[in-house]
Amino acid sequence: MIRAAPEDAPAAGVLIFDECRKASGWTEGALCWLDATEQGPEACGIVDGLIDELVSLEREGVENPIATTTFPAAELWLAAQAMRLQDGRIVVSVAPAPANHVVELLACRYGLTGREREIVDLIARGLDTRAVTQALSISRYTLQDHLKSIFRKTGVHTRLKLVALVSAALSAQIPGS
């Protein structure tokens, strides 16, 4: 089950990496969140992957790229971002994932495809079959096939329970809920 961040938990943490990708500075908050993944700041594969993504975006010529990811840690979803500073160093921020990422977090947790995530998002917003099929330009039969897959992956069997799953994850992610 996804849990809310403890009230005394740091809001965010920051890691700084030099041009050789060696951690040259960090806040206690970053260590706190990364320790929840049972990995240290330099050995964290998640952070390494995020930096790899940033470098890849830079090579593609993306202007002011920001690499982002979400990942589970100690039954809480975390969000991380990596970006380059003007002096060439890389800064990575780590914090509890914001509540508006809940559909993406559930998609990751349950292995939903991109299209399935879109469907969950639209259904959680209250759209009916006709509105979902129009928004995604798919037939109602295709929608039903996607819903069967979503239900199988999440373990729920109705749209109402799917909305309840999204709602429960949302309320659990908001500190103090």
Spatial contact of 177 and 169, defined as CB atoms under 8 Å apart: no
What pLDDT, on a 0 to 100 scale, did the predictor assign at position 35?
66
Token reading at 29: 């908050």
What pLDDT, on a 0 to 100 scale, did the predictor assign at position 165?
87
Per-position b or e across 94-110, b if 16+ CB within 10 A of its CB? bbbbebebbbbbbbbeb
**What angle (nearest 5°) sits at the alpha carbon of residue 111, between those of residues 107 and 117?**
35
Residue 25's DSSP bridge partners are 16
10 pLDDT tier (thresholds 50, 70, 90): low
The domain 100-173 is placed in CATH, from the list 1.10.3720.10, 1.10.10.10, 3.40.50.720, 3.30.390.50, at 1.10.10.10
Spatial contact of 2 and 75, defined as CB atoms under 8 Å apart: yes
Spatial contact of 35 and 55, defined as CB atoms under 8 Å apart: no
Mean pLDDT calculated for residue range 89-108: 81
154 pLDDT tier (thresholds 50, 70, 90): very high
- pLDDT tens-digit map of 133-148: 999 999 999 999 999 9
Domain boundaries, the chain: 13-97, 100-173
- pLDDT tens-digit map of 21-77: 888 998 888 877 766 555 444 436 788 888 999 999 999 999 999 998 877 666 567
